[in-house]
Amino acid sequence: MTRKPWDIAFTAEPTEVAALRRIMRLHLGIWGLPEVVDDAQLCMSELVSNVITHVGPGTPATLAVSMSGVHLRIEIHDPDTRALPTLLDANVDAEGGRGMAMVDALAARWGVQLRPDRKVTWCELATGLASPNGHVEGPGVRRAEALLACYSGAKPLLRPGPGKVGRAAAEESVITVITDFLHWLRAHGCDVDEALDRAQTRYDAELGSCGDGGSPMSRA
C-alpha cells in the first residue's frame, strides 16, 4: 500500500479541531492504520491546542501527515518561531503542561524544527508496520496467517509479492483455503450462503469502523 503524504491548511480555532480529527480518522482508515487513529487524533489535537494557547486563536496553520519509515509523522506548521512548546512536569493539579506531556507519553518521539518563516512541531507514532508500505499485523491478519501456515504444513507461508504474479499466486492460495472451509461447512450441514453473507457483513462492519472506503467483495 502506498501512503502518500498529505497536508491541509486551517485556522487555529477550537472549532476546527473536531473537523481535523475527522479528517485524520478518514485518512488513516484509507491507509489501513485503524489502530493508530485514537493516538493520532489525541496528539494532533494537543499540537493544535498548543498553537491556539501559546500563539493565539486565528493563527493560520497547516497539518501535514506522512510516513517516516514505519512511524506515522504528524506535523503542525505555524508562523511564530518564538513560542516554543515545552514539556512540563504536569501533575494532577496543574492547569497547563498536560498537552505536550500527553504527546510525549503517546509518541515514540517528538520535537520542534525552526525554519525561516515558520515553526514545525512534530511527533511520530509507532504503527506496528513491518515496512512503510506493508499492512498492520492486526489480530485478524495474524489469525489468517496462522491458519495459512497450518494449512500449508511444511511449505513456507506464501505472502503477496511486489508484482502482479506474486499477488495472484498468494490470492489463489487464500481462495483455496476459503473454498475448503466452505466444503467443511456444507459437510456439517451449514448454510454456505448464509455463512458468506455473515462474513461479508462482519468484514464490511470492520472496514466501516476504521473509515475504510474499500469496495465490498462480490460473488455470483
Q: How confident is the model at residue 205 (pLDDT cuts 50, 70, 90)?
A: confident
SS3 64: strand
Segment among 12-16, 78-82, 118-122 with least mean pLDDT: 78-82
Give the model's pLDDT for residue 216: 42
Contacts of residue 105, Cβ cutoff 8 Å, sequence gap at least 6:
none
Give the model's pLDDT for residue 220: 40
Please report, rounded to a whole number, the percentage of residues in the chain having pLDDT higher than 90. Answer: 42
Residue 27 near residue 8 (C-beta atoms within 8 A): no
What sign has the CA pseudo-torsion 69, 102, 211, 199?
positive
Q: Average pLDDT over the chain, rounded to whole?
A: 80
Q: What Cα–Cα distance (Å) separates residue 40 from each residue in 30, 51, 150, 209?
A: 14, 17, 36, 16
Give the model's pLDDT for residue 59: 95
Tell me how far apart the alpha carbons of residues 27 and 52 are, in angstroms, rounded to a whole number: 24
Q: Express each pLDDT in 101-142 by its tens digit.
A: 899 999 999 999 999 999 999 999 999 888 888 877 666 666
The count of C-alpha atoms lying within 13 angstroms of the C-alpha of 158, restricted to the half-sphere facing its C-beta, is 17
Q: How confident is the model at residue 42 (pLDDT cuts 50, 70, 90)?
A: very high
Cell of 40: 493520532
Q: Express each pLDDT in 178-190 by its tens digit.
A: 877 777 777 667 7
Residue 122 near residue 75 (C-beta atoms within 8 A): yes
Q: Express each pLDDT in 150-188 by its tens digit.
A: 766 544 445 555 556 656 666 777 777 787 777 777 766
